[in-house]
Amino acid sequence: MNIRKMSMVGFSPTRTTKTVLESIASGMDIQASTFIDMTLPTHAEAMCFGSEEVVIIGAPVYAGRLPVHAVERFRKLKGEHTPVVIVVVYGNREFEDALLELKHLVIEQGFVPVAGASFIGEHSFSTAEFPVAQGRPDSSDMACAKAFGEAVVSKIAALESVVGVEIDVPGNFPYKNGMPANSVAPVSRVACTLCGLCESVCPTGAIEVSHEVVTEASLCIRCCACIRACPHEVRVIEDEAWKAIGVRLYTNCATPKMPQLFC
C-alpha cells in the first residue's frame, strides 16, 4: 500500500501520550503531520481521513479504560478504511480493557487497526515524594516506539489493502467499570498569582480564574494537568483519599513494566 500522509491524534492531559505518539511517528518515514490535539474542550471539529493516509491515535488509561472525554472527542473522527495505529499509555499499573476499547471505537468510526501498542508514562498521580513510573517514557521507551513505527510502515507497505486486516489486543468485553463519579478536585493555595495557566490546560473546562480560582469538582477528571502546569506549584491535591491512592500506587506499582506491541 502506498501511504501519502500520516496524522497523529491524541488526548493527553499530562503529555506523556503525546510524547509516545511523536516517537512512533519519528519511526514512520512518511510526510510528517502535526499532532491533532483533542485534549481541550475547544477542539470541536469533526475530521475525515482517507484510505491513503495512516493515523496514529492515542489516549491514556484511566481506571483500565479510555477517559470518557477521549471517547467523546474521538467520535468526531471518521475514517474511510483508513489504516490506524492504536496506542494507550498507562502509569505502570495495568491497561486492562483500554486498548480493546480503543480498537472497537476506531473500527466503529471507519478505521482499520493495523497495529496497536501499550506504553508506560509517568503516572498522573506521581509526586516527588511518591514517584510512580517517574521519567517514563524514557529513552528506551522512545527507542522502542520509534522501532515500532518502522515496523508498522513495513507492515503497511507489504499490504495490498487493509481489507481483512485484523489485530488481536488484550482486554475483555464487556469492559470493566471506568472512573466513578468524582466530587473532589485540586485546589489553588493562597500564593496563587491568578495567572490562568491551570484554566488553559483543563480538558473539561472545570476551572475558572478571575479574582479567584473556582473549580467545579463534578467536572474534574483528576487528570492533574492543572497541577503540572502551575508555574508556582500552588495547585495541589489536598483530598486525603486521593493522596492515599498515590501512595498505594507508589508501593504496589514499583516494578517497571515494558511496552507491549501488537503488530
Q: Find the binding residues for ligand FMN in span 216-235 (CB under 6 A).
A: 222-224
Residue 92, burial from CB neighbour count under 10 angstroms (0-12, 13-18, 19+): buried
- DSSP states of 65-130: B--HHHHHHHTTEEESSEEEEEEEEE-SS--TTHHHHHHHHHHHTTEEEEEEEEEE---TT--SSS
Which does residue 64 touch among ligand FMN, ligand SF4, none (CB within 5 to 8 A, set by kind)?
Answer: ligand FMN
Nearer to ligand SF4, 134 or 200 (CB): 200
**Grid coordinates representing 44?**
470541536
Q: How many residues bind ligand FMN, per CB under 6 A?
A: 25
**DSSP-based three-state secondary structure for 41:** coil
The least distance separating ligand SF4 from the CB of residue 249, rounded to whole angstroms, comes to: 16
- DSSP states of 127-169: -SSS-SSTT-S-HHHHHHHHHHHHHHHHHHHT-S-STT-----
Query: What Å distances lie between residue 116 and 56, 168, 217, CA to CA?
Result: 9, 9, 34
Q: Would you count residue 186 as binding ligand FMN (CB under 6 A)?
A: no
Which does residue 123 touch among ligand SF4, ligand FMN, none (CB within 5 to 8 A, set by kind)?
Answer: ligand FMN
Note whether 35 and 77 are within 8 A (CB). no
Nearer to ligand SF4, 93 or 235 (CB): 235
Q: Would you count residue 63 as binding ligand FMN (CB under 6 A)?
A: yes
Q: Would you count residue 73 as binding ligand FMN (CB under 6 A)?
A: no
The least distance separating ligand SF4 from the CB of residue 247, rounded to whole angstroms, comes to: 18
Q: Would you count residue 259 as binding ligand FMN (CB under 6 A)?
A: no
Which does residue 197 touch among ligand SF4, ligand FMN, none (CB within 5 to 8 A, set by kind)?
Answer: ligand SF4
Residues that bind ligand FMN (CB under 6 A): 12-17, 60-64, 89-94, 121-124, 179, 222-224
